[in-house]
Homo-oligomer: A and B are copies of this chain.
Amino acid sequence: MTRRALADGILFTDQYQLTMSQIYFRMGLHEKEAQFEHYFRRYPDYGSHQAGFCIAAGMDSLLDWMDSAHVTDADIEALRSQVDGTGSRIFDEDFLSWLRSNGSFDCLSIRSMPEGRIVHANAPFTIVTGPLAMAQILETSLLNHLNFETLIATKAARVSQASRGRPVLEFGLRRSAGRGANAAARGALVGGATASSNVGMSHVMGVQPKGTHAHSMVQVFMSLGEGELGAFRAYADVYPDDCLLLVDTIDTLASGIPNAITVFDELSAKGHEPVGIRLDSGDLAYLAIQAAAQLNEAGYPDTTIVLSSSLDELVIFQILSQIDQEAPRYGIDPVRLIGRMVMGVGSKLATSAGQPYLDGVYKLMALRDSGSDSWNPAIKVSETPAKTPNPGDKDVVRIYDERGRSTADVMVEKGQSLDDGDVVELRHPIQPHSRRTLLRSEISEVEPLLVDVTVGGKRVDGSPGLAEISQRRVRDIDRLDPGVRRLVNPHRYHVSLTPGLWDLKQQLVAKAKASIT
């Protein structure tokens, strides 16, 4: 692993962050104070279904990385070896020497949406302030950590919603993106998965990992002539109080469930309570109903039925809808059946299938001389208007309506809030004629969203644990309009600018365009 260590430290970044930093160094700009803003432009669109909100995640992982990513001699040696097309070195000794002494992120301050909270497209998610070169080098890793965990937390929140609050187990390690499986497990737990099969990451997160057995264990016993029943008995013998059996190695209804019931009877006779079964192939809606019928008949009306096999939020939504419709025909109460179900969700959760990346960006918003009070806003003009950032030194507030539902996230000038008047005017960030006015009386709360995470490199947000993060998520989802929560074709949540920030943006764009000669 030694030679691979290079890939996990400060060189876990894009080459151009370093080439730009050397330019800043050469021009004496490297310690100028910069403000970068991170946000994403589009909610995940899975093709047949779309997200109307995201769940912020990844900050704790980013901070862990930042703590560990100090420049080492091996890093410098690697950079020293880089040459351009003519064989000349890319990085000069004076820059490398500066980097060796200053290459840490302790100089940066970060404000961000707390993990677990709902975050919206185009609203500031994270703001990084500090010396230009190090704030620039941070870009790639910040985006990597926050984009991916937010993507997975969002998917997990959707899967949990489709599952009607039943437990969701994250199973995706084997098909995730290499070591990104750990970020996937963390993101899933932040977004609402109840547990993960990933042993190591579960321990890191302080959650009991979950898992029972695979087909291979049944095959071992079959190959030894002891059959499925022998395998189930061995399982029950070792885990009498945690006996959850995978019933589809041979034939779910003809072999798996009858054998499971035999073993459950043997366990019950010894005073143990059987946990349940797992269905991993076939028509899961039909099999769940039939499994419930067999288990009920045998006197196990409450044992768990775990479903797995290519599940995602839409598949789960469909299975549960079908159970609602079909179960009564077999004399099964659908509410009671769904109430004993657990969802095992693997590949499609851990990779956010349909939309495997979030398009988060990190844009320079303002610059100032170190020690100066006032920021000089920066702009980038894109031929695609949606790609033109909203410049300036900003905060973001969430407006709740008279029902207590969130109705808009509004970018405001730093340290300010909304206008005090009876009417609050909101501007669409792109469309000049799209305005919205809210009466002050329609507003029940105006909540500042960004919190200080690190100040001068020191963590100040108290490193919240999973329980606190989950509370935030539950509370935010509760306060979201059901239209925005909808799994398919959700209503568009408003993200707006104050009139002052809108005017600033127009002025800067006009100035940049005027510079074209």
Interface residues of A (CB under 8 A from B): 1, 3-4, 6-9, 11-20, 22-24, 26-27, 29, 34, 36, 47, 61, 64-65, 67-68, 78-79, 81-86, 88, 90, 132, 136, 139-140, 143-145, 147-149, 171, 173-184, 197-204, 208-220, 222-224, 227-228, 234-235, 237-239, 241-242, 248-252, 254-255, 275, 281-282, 347, 350-353, 356-360, 363-364, 366-367, 376-384, 387, 512-513, 515-517
How far, in angstroms, from A235 to B515 measured CA to CA in the complex?
19
A466: min CB distance to chain B, Å: 13
How far, in angstroms, from A145 to B227 measured CA to CA in the complex?
32
A6: min CB distance to chain B, Å: 5
24 contacts between A and B (CB under 8 A): A3-B204, A4-B204, A6-B200, A12-B200, A14-B198, A15-B211, A16-B212, A17-B214, A23-B213, A78-B199, A85-B241, A144-B174, A148-B175, A149-B178, A177-B178, A177-B356, A178-B180, A179-B182, A249-B381, A250-B516, A251-B381, A251-B513, A251-B516, A347-B357
A369: min CB distance to chain B, Å: 11
Beta-carbon contact of B383 and A251 below 8 Å: yes
Beta-carbon contact of A204 and B6 below 8 Å: yes
Known A-B contacts A90-B239, A212-B16, A516-B251; A359 and B8 likewise in contact (beta carbons under 8 Å) = no
How far, in angstroms, from A88 to B356 measured CA to CA in the complex?
39
Known A-B contacts A216-B20, A223-B376; A358 and B175 likewise in contact (beta carbons under 8 Å) = yes
How far, in angstroms, from A183 to B431 measured CA to CA in the complex?
41
Beta-carbon contact of B351 and A357 below 8 Å: yes
A28: min CB distance to chain B, Å: 11
Beta-carbon contact of B173 and A148 below 8 Å: no
* Neighbouring B residues of A197 by C-beta, 8 Å: 14-16
How far, in angstroms, from A1 to B351 measured CA to CA in the complex?
24
* Neighbouring B residues of A350 by C-beta, 8 Å: 357
Number of copies of this chain that the complex holds: 2
Beta-carbon contact of B512 and A212 below 8 Å: no
How far, in angstroms, from A222 to B516 measured CA to CA in the complex?
12
* Neighbouring B residues of A81 by C-beta, 8 Å: 203
Beta-carbon contact of A203 and B238 below 8 Å: no
Beta-carbon contact of A82 and B208 below 8 Å: yes
Beta-carbon contact of A180 and B175 below 8 Å: no
Beta-carbon contact of A14 and B211 below 8 Å: yes
How far, in angstroms, from A132 to B219 measured CA to CA in the complex?
12
How far, in angstroms, from A183 to B180 measured CA to CA in the complex?
9
How far, in angstroms, from A250 to B514 measured CA to CA in the complex?
10
How far, in angstroms, from A78 to B254 measured CA to CA in the complex?
39
How far, in angstroms, from A250 to B200 measured CA to CA in the complex?
47
How far, in angstroms, from A347 to B223 measured CA to CA in the complex?
45
Q: Which of B13, B198, B352 contacts A7 (CB 8 A)?
A: B198
How far, in angstroms, from A214 to B13 measured CA to CA in the complex?
13
* Neighbouring B residues of A149 by C-beta, 8 Å: 178
How far, in angstroms, from A23 to B211 measured CA to CA in the complex?
13
Known A-B contacts A198-B7, A387-B281; A176 and B180 likewise in contact (beta carbons under 8 Å) = yes
Most chain B CB atoms below 10 A, which of A1, A18, A68, A145: A1
Beta-carbon contact of A238 and B22 below 8 Å: yes
How far, in angstroms, from A382 to B282 measured CA to CA in the complex?
9
How far, in angstroms, from A201 to B9 measured CA to CA in the complex?
10
* Neighbouring B residues of A359 by C-beta, 8 Å: 175, 347
Residue of B nearest to A226 (CB): B27
Residue of B nearest to A383 (CB): B282
* Neighbouring B residues of A148 by C-beta, 8 Å: 175-178
Nearest 10 A/B pairs, CB to CB = A180-B180, A177-B180, A178-B183, A15-B211, A16-B211, A11-B200, A177-B177, A7-B200, A356-B356, A179-B179
